[in-house]
Structure 1
Amino acid sequence: MTSLAVAFALLLILEGIGPLLFPNRWRKYLQSLAQLPGNQLQQIGGVMVIAGAILLWFLQS
């Protein structure tokens, strides 16, 4: 359970860097994401999940 908490903490840190350092760019980025069609967002999400799973697999080896 500790590893899961560490992973979640790192996620929050990494996700917070954008809005902390570049709030205006971050807002424009989110607005452009909101304009994408649903299937394109699903593809982006799928790529992110696969990339994360591969990275996790490499880190566990």
Structure 2
Amino acid sequence: MNSDSLWAAFGLFLLIEGLLPFLSPSRWRSAVAQIALMRDGQIRAFGLIAILAGVLMLWV
């Protein structure tokens, strides 16, 4: 993996992360408020699932 691929991946990440707040700020705010009410274990489980999905996508 070269630095161009890393920058492209980071740029794609930022693009995807910015879509919901740009397209629907009220929905995004609601989602963040719901996440704030979750227990730490629930947030960690979601994070672990996201990590495993990302690793699987990179592996495939």
**TM-score computed with the length of structure 2 as normaliser:** 0.95
Aligned with residue 32 of structure 2, among 24, 30, 33: 30
Same amino acid, percent of matched pairs: 36
Amino acid at match of 1:42: R
Q: Partner residue of 1:40?
A: 42
Q: Structure 2: where are the runs of 5+ without partners?
A: none
Aligned with residue 18 of structure 2, among 1, 16, 19: 16
Amino acid at match of 1:51: A
Q: 2: distance between equivalents of 1:38 and 1:55?
A: 26
Q: Structure 1: where are the runs of 5+ without partners?
A: none
Amino acid at match of 2:7: A
Output one character per residue of 1:27-58: Cα deviation in whole Å (capped at 9) or x when no partner.
00000001000011000000000000000111
Q: Partner residue of 1:3?
A: 5
Q: Partner residue of 2:55?
A: 53
What RMSD over aligned residues (CA atoms) do the two structures have, in Å?
0.4
**Alignment length, in residue pairs?**
58
